[in-house]
Structure 1
Amino acid sequence: MNHIAIVEDDNSIAEMLSFHMKAQGYQVTHFADGEVARQNLLRESYDIVLLDIMLPNCNGLDICKELRQKNPSIPILMLTSLDGEADRVIGLELGADDYLTKPFSMRECTARVKALLRRSQLAAPVEEAIESVDEKLSIDELNLDAGSRVVCMNEVLIELTAREFDLLFYLAKNAGRVYSRSQLLDAVWGYSHDGYEHTINTHINRLRNKLKRSNGKSEFIQTVWGVGYKFYRPDEDGS
């Protein structure tokens, strides 16, 4: 049984989330205080965290950053206010996998939770990107192993979130092909995100920071202006 941590100080929202998550068969633990949640999340093990930003005693963004440093693979779904655009972007940059804007439907929330859990548990890897859980890719100094979800560059382990790995593997497997943000959202996130294209931007930026090259070659993930992104092919360098 998956164990969900709900960190939300609005009791009506927390009760609604708890009711629907329990109805899906999940075990639920609720925290209304930010500092209490922070200490517990760093100490105990959960399968996914639904994390509000505005919390008493400890900001949800600070919790996200600290939790991501301790546990790179745990799925984090941020809960944000309608006018909290900056907070949503910061949350994604700090390592959140996805976000929901209040007010949100329980149907959409449940879909997001299920999608995040599937990817973190490898029950359903990205279908178009990973045909076999044993598949491996090697491009220049970058090596990806779908079975172990391990990424190494120059034999140094690169820690990625589950969503970052899926996005990187999808692009790398289809190196040279250009994808729009909406195509990447559909393929990697598994459902439409109308107006959520900047989710891709923040994940791409995080991947680029983690995969910086020291040999002066082009970045692994390249921007195609007006279209989207692609993963470079070695022959594009003329090498």
Structure 2
Amino acid sequence: MIGRHILVVDDDPAMRDLIGTYFNNHGYEVSTAPDGPSLKRVLNARPADLIILDLQLSKENGLDLMRSISADSQVPVIIITGQRRDEPDRVVALELGADDYVTKPFSLRELMARARAVLRRSERNDGRSRDFQQRIRYRFAGFELSVRMRRLTSPDQTLVKLTAGEFNLLTAFLRAPQQILTREQLIAATRMHDEEVFDRSIDVLILRLRRKLEADPSNPRFIKTERGVGYMLTAEVETVR
């Protein structure tokens, strides 16, 4: 992980300096930005490996900024949110493509641990996994997923953008088609945390993936809910090496 570029977006100079100094001291290269325009200038100058974004920006909507990041790039994002009452914002940010979150007050050690976990997932998805895994392609219901390219193509040959979490979740389903996967198995497959009762990260990822795969996400054909147990991919899957 040494030398990876972290971009910290926070309108509080003290918080930017605190996070930036901590990551610098652990071998990361850090850039900081107080707002959206500054973020874009930094990214235009040098791509980031990870963005740490505080949703509570004073002069702009952090969710709008999260939406812009997801639309313009596939850079993984960790969001910083306020107290538990801000759960709706967390859920929306996860739906928009955030990969993880921390809630204030948080420890820098926790933030570092989450950053390292997200970067590991991103590294695997960038094609640094074992060679035989890289060559695998999955075909299902007219879709094709290239593991090496992390590219999902729809039945009409349209490219479907996936976040790191969505890619990991879909891959878990494709490796075990027509089998019920428990929530715990999916959490392990996506490397997401499940420390708090209100954490609905897996449910949010399922919803996001359904929106990209299903003609009617409210009445899904491919990813079925097995109530009280977990979820199942019902489609037949062909593995091509």
Deviates more, 1:152-161 or 1:77-86: 152-161
Q: Residue 222 of structure 1: SS of its match in structure 2?
A: strand
Aligned counterpart, 2:203: 201
1:228 to 215, 227, 230: 230
1:26 deviation in Å?
0.9
The 1:137–1:35 alpha-carbon spacing in structure 2 relative to 1, beyond 3 Å, is closer
5+ residue gaps, structure 2, are none
Give the alignment of 1:41-190 within 5 angstroms: 43-44=44-45, 45-71=47-73, 73-82=74-83, 83-122=85-124, 132-154=133-155, 155-189=157-191
Aligned residues of 1:4 and 1:46 also touching (Cα < 8 A): yes
Aligned counterpart, 2:214: 212
Instruction: Tell me the amino acid that sits aligned with residue 141 of structure 1.
Output: G
Aligned residues of 1:126 and 1:166 also touching (Cα < 8 A): no
For 1:67 and 1:212, the matched residues in 2 are separated by 24
Instruction: Tell me the amino acid that sits aligned with residue 89 of structure 1.
Output: V
Aligned residues of 2:153 and 2:160 also touching (Cα < 8 A): yes
Aligned residues of 1:119 and 1:125 also touching (Cα < 8 A): no
For 1:223 and 1:125, the matched residues in 2 are separated by 31
Q: Residue 181 of structure 2: SS of its match in structure 1?
A: coil
1:39 deviation in Å?
3.5
Q: Deviations over 1:62-81 (max 9, x none)?
A: 1110111011x210111000
For 2:114 and 2:11, the matched residues in 1 are separated by 21
In the alignment of these two chains, the number of paired residues is: 229
Aligned residues of 1:8 and 1:51 also touching (Cα < 8 A): yes
Instruction: Tell me the amino acid that sits aligned with residue 77 of structure 1.
Output: I
Q: Deviations over 1:90-143 (max 9, x none)?
A: 11111211111111122221121112112222279898xx97222221123121
Aligned residues of 1:48 and 1:117 also touching (Cα < 8 A): yes
The 1:20–1:38 alpha-carbon spacing in structure 2 relative to 1, beyond 3 Å, is closer
Normalising by structure 2, we get a TM-score of 0.84
Aligned residues of 2:94 and 2:201 also touching (Cα < 8 A): yes
Percent pairwise identity: 32
1:174 deviation in Å?
0.8
The 1:220–1:126 alpha-carbon spacing in structure 2 relative to 1, beyond 3 Å, is farther
Aligned residues of 2:70 and 2:97 also touching (Cα < 8 A): yes
Give the alignment of 1:22-41 within 5 angstroms: 22-32=24-34, 34-40=35-41
For 2:48 and 2:68, the matched residues in 1 are separated by 15
5+ residue gaps, structure 1, are none
Aligned residues of 2:77 and 2:99 also touching (Cα < 8 A): yes
Deviates more, 1:131-140 or 1:81-90: 131-140
Q: Residue 110 of structure 2: SS of its match in structure 1?
A: helix
